[in-house]
Structure 1
């Protein structure tokens, strides 16, 4: 009688063991197929399922704050973010919160990634060091301060962007200052702003 009792008691324990192993296996598969289940040292922003309207709404409040503080037009901030980050879907913006392709120098927190540059009338791929931020807002702040402070060798480099009366003048000023090597950069910024009527927020 005692032997039978021991056998019947073992069966539930074996079943529980199988259930626990199966659960762990399913979770490990989900972790492999969905990297969002694992944590990264950086706070990832919204995922690629964000709609274009949601992306604009996500950036607008802070863009308005930057306008009040420094005069930068929200249409330029959001328009550049759209163009530079592909609506927040680029690796640089999703994983490192850099919405504007801002380069890193010296001992700044950075990541090295492939980037496209227009050199000698053709597009080439090079390695670039880019700033790493803790949030999209921090990236927007740094973007605006670049316009405010310029660069070491030219503090007034982006002054015309800040003082521009409208997005068209500001976009041309970006091109003139050499923000990007793309010869069609100003036209692309204007097109994004006009397509999504971003100038209504200026």
Structure 2
């Protein structure tokens, strides 16, 4: 009888040990799973934060690159630097468009003849966006593009030399932005609102001082 009891006790202990080991394995598995899950979340957040930082730094660098010439044009010709910078941002997508990287055209200014390139662009026509091809001016540098943008504001178009007078004579950047839209600089019906939003978001009005 005693021998049989000892055998049963050893069997129970063995079963108990198996249960403990199974429990340990389950706990380890859950720990690894939960740890991996939280690591993926942390790593994804780290990647997103790094991407946001790179994007912020790239935008800050672009503004610093175009601001000095924009301010120089404002000081001489009263075209708000904030407007020039905001237009450069919108028209060139922060200096990343093909037109701005390869041909230094920051403002989507149209051109003719040998000193221009045919590019695709979007225009808002008849209540919808369409893709067309047109010729755009080519410049040697972004500064040249900014100078020509100021020249356009001052001299207008071949059809109307006073076309952008409302921009040059504006009392603030909001008036200038609305003047650009009223003068038909872009076909986007929300062009002025977008310019004002960019100026306020990135505090570009500080460059007008």
Shorter-chain TM-score tier: 0.7 to 0.9
> Following the alignment from structure 1 to structure 2, what is the Cα–Cα distance between the partners of residues 49 and 94?
19
Which residue is equivalent to 1:122? 128
Unaligned runs of 5+ in 1: 1-47
CA distances 1:82-117 after superposition (whole Å, capped 9, x unpaired): 000000000000000000000003x25011011000
Q: TM-score, normalised by structure 1?
A: 0.74
Distance 1:113 1:59, change over 3 A: same
Aligned residues: 154
Task: Name the residue aligned to 1:94.
Answer: 101
If asked which structure has higher relative contact order (CA below 8 Å, sep 6+), I would say 1
TM-score, length-scaled by structure 2: 0.72
Structure 1 position 64, deviation (Å): 1.1
Q: Does 1:168 align with 2:151?
A: no
Counterparts of 2:155 and 2:164 in 1: how far apart (Å)?
8
Structure 2 gaps, min length 5: 1-54
1:151 shift after superposition: 1.0
Query: What is the root-mean-square deviation in Å for CA atoms of aligned residues?
Result: 1.4
CA contact (8 A) 1:72 1:144 kept: yes
Q: Distance in 2 between the 1:49 and 1:96 partners?
A: 24
Cα separation, 2, equivalents of 1:133 and 1:101? 11
Asked whether the equivalents of residues 85 and 99 of structure 1 are also in contact (C-alpha less than 8 Å), the reply is: yes
2:165 match: 159
Where has structure 1 moved over 6 Å in runs of 4 or more?
A: none
The equivalent residue for 2:58 is: 51
Q: Distance in 2 between matches of 1:160 and 1:197?
A: 22
Contact 1:66 1:72 in 2 (8 A): yes
Structure 2 vs 1, CA of residues 81 and 70 (structure 1 numbering), >3 Å: closer, same or farther? same
SS for the counterpart of 1:113 is strand
Whole-angstrom distance in 1 between the partners of 2:200 and 2:183: 22
Larger Rg: 2
- Partner Cα separation in structure 2 for residue 147 and residue 60 of structure 1: 17
